[in-house]
């Protein structure tokens, strides 16, 4: 990809808003339920709430899912009218805090259910309820459901916007445990007052349609991060992380490279130093082979990352691709973030979010509908906006 507008001496995370739009449309086309909501926690997975939320709202997204009240405030500044679900429940706040912001807590245990019911003095208060059907993390269980059914007056004080659960084996659509969780979720919610069901996250919207239920909450798929490696999703990369070549040099055989001799050249090698490191969100250490792309050629990562440097082996690469200022891609179209994440032994979103927090962000604008969504990631950079 062409990068004339990026800083010559710094790494950059380029966010393609048209790719996010294409992914939104792919999700909406696949999901058979009533509505798709966007998960925008962790600053929209590192891509920027202030830019992503208005785009999705313009595309028809009405529900936004965040982790806590601070994120809910960020979303509210960008989208005055959408519904905001807060996945971490009351988060130490009060029902009044949520009412003032117009946010909906996803209650995570019985103490929060009771706190919300007590707050309903004049009229029912709006909330969602998380049911723990197998992840053993957040939510009420079967005994709690029985307690609620036995105390209908408490439930009458709640206006339930959704029942929510989360798959323990989300990355394996065919896992038997997923079917068990769906059966539990369906059975438990049939005993409770009617409300929309939210069962599907990114992997679920492309999974069995009989489990789509009413409301989806999609994060990774919108940003082009694969969640089901065994069953690729029809999504495109929405973020590209690149870094400039700072130096190319020849290193004789048997020389140590990096701190504590983390790498030793097995033969005479040509190395390039890239202007990016763990301070920019790149993993510090790799446990298996990782590589970057330079003009479409693979260059293996060697040694550990420094705070703002990374060493790659460019032996045999065309000379014209190795001039200082040329850029190497760490992830993006044609090089999924899964590759570098797997080599570091972390989830893809770990790399995605950290890069989004640390590297300078630039934005490719979202053009008119003509042709959009078909080649979103192939467009050249022009006048990207930096934040």
How many other β-carbons are positioned within 10 Å of the β-carbon of residue 135?
A: 16
Annotated binding site: 137, 307
All residues at 6 or more sequence positions from 257 whose CB lies less than 8 Å from its CB, including other chains: 251, 263, 264, 265, 271, 302, 303, 311
Closest by CA to 36, choosing from 45, 26, 44, is 26
Instruction: Give the pairing type, strands 239-251 and 197-198.
Output: unpaired
156 is catalytic: no
Query: Of 45, 156, 223, 259, which one is the catalytic site residue?
Result: 259
363 is catalytic: no
How many other β-carbons are positioned within 10 Å of the β-carbon of residue 108?
A: 23
- Going by the DSSP 8-state scheme, the letter that residue 230 receives in this structure is T
Query: Of 41, 45, 263, 363, which one is the catalytic site residue?
Result: 41
Q: Which DSSP string do the residues of 334-358 spell out, in sequence order?
A: TB-HHHHHHHHTS-HHHHHHHHHHH
Annotated binding site for substrate: 137, 307
Rounded CA-CA distance 223/245 in Å is 27
Rounded CA-CA distance 333/224 in Å is 9
Counting DSSP H helices and E strands in the chain, the numbers are 12, 19
Please identify every residue annotated as catalytic.
41, 259
């Amino acid at each position: 990809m062409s990068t004339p507008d990026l800083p010559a001496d710094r790494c950059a995370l380029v966010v393609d808003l048209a790719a996010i739009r294409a992914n939104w449309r792919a999700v909406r086309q696949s999901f058979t339920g009533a509505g798709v909501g966007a998960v925008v926690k962790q600053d929209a997975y590192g891509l920027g709430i202030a830019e992503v939320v208005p785009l999705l709202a313009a595309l028809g997204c009405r529900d936004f899912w965040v982790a806590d009240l601070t994120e809910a405030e960020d979303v509210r500044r960008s989208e005055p009218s959408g519904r905001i679900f807060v996945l971490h429940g009351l988060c130490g706040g009060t029902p009044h805090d949520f009412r003032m912001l117009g946010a909906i807590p996803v209650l995570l245990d019985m103490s929060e259910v009771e706190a919300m019911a007590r707050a309903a003095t004049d009229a029912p208060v709006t909330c969602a309820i998380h049911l723990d059907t197998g992840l053993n993390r957040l939510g009420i269980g079967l005994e709690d459901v029985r307690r609620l059914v036995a105390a209908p007056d408490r439930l009458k004080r709640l206006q339930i916007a959704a029942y929510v659960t989360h798959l323990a084996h989300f990355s394996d659509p065919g896992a038997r445990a997923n079917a068990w969780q769906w059966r539990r979720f369906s059975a438990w919610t049939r005993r409770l007052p009617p409300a929309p069901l939210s069962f599907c996250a990114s992997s679920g919207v492309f999974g069995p349609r009989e489990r789509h239920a009413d409301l989806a909450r999609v994060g990774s798929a919108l940003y082009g991060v694969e969640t089901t490696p065994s069953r690729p999703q029809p999504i495109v990369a929405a973020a590209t992380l690149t870094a400039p070549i700072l130096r190319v040099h020849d290193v004789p055989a048997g020389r140590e490279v990096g701190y504590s001799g983390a790498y030793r050249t097995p033969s005479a090698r040509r190395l390039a130093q890239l202007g990016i490191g763990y301070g920019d969100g790149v993993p510090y250490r790799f446990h298996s082979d990782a590589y970057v792309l330079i003009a479409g050629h693979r260059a293996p990562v060697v040694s550990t990352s420094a705070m703002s440097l990374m060493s790659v082996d460019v032996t045999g690469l065309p000379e014209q691709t190795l001039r200082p200022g040329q850029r190497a891609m760490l992830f993006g179209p044609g090089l999924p973030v899964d590759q570098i994440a797997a080599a570091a032994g972390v989830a893809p979103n770990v790399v995605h979010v950290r890069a989004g927090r640390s590297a300078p962000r630039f934005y490719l604008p979202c053009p008119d509908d003509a042709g959009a969504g078909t080649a979103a990631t192939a467009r050249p950079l022009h006048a990207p906006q930096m934040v």
